[in-house]
């Protein structure tokens, strides 16, 4: 059974700092890895999707990497802004049916 862990549980940084959020998974036979953002009381917004055959994906200031052999994914946020404050979730897809196993998230606070 796939288990997904996110460290740290919470992170507070000053505006402008580059930061890395970590995600680890137990089953290396992962189909894909998806990163989401969740604002308080809201739904999930997809940020990046990495297929198992890929090593990284980039969107604007965000870069996500996937290392299946070590069971790790990282989300890199460059030049953080207060608007980046949210909970970030990673989820591993184990089959072609798209079922996702979620980590518990990292609560990010970027203060001015």
Residues that bind another protein (CB under 8 A): 31-32, 34, 36, 42-46, 49, 51, 89, 91, 93, 97-105
Smallest gap from Cβ 93 to another protein, in A, equals 6
DSSP string, 44-105: EEEEEEEETT-SEEEETTEEEEEETTTTEEEEEE-S--GGG-EEEEEEEE-STT--EEE---
Nearer to another protein, 3 or 15 (CB): 3
CA distance 34 to 77: 15
Nearer to another protein, 25 or 36 (CB): 36
Position of tokens 């518990």?
Answer: 104
Smallest gap from Cβ 79 to another protein, in A, equals 25
Nearer to another protein, 80 or 89 (CB): 89
């Amino acid at each position: 059974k796939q288990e997904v862990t996110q460290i740290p549980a919470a992170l507070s940084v000053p505006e402008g700092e580059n930061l890395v959020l970590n995600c680890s998974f137990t089953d290396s036979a992962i189909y894909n890895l998806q990163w989401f953002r969740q604002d308080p009381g809201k739904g999930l917004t997809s940020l990046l999707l990495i297929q198992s055959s890929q090593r990284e994906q980039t969107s604007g200031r965000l870069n996500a990497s996937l290392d299946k052999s070590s069971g790790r994914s990282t989300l890199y946020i460059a030049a953080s802004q207060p608007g980046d404050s949210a909970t970030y979730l990673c989820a591993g897809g184990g089959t072609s049916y798209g079922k996702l196993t979620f980590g518990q998230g990292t609560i990010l606070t970027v203060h001015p």
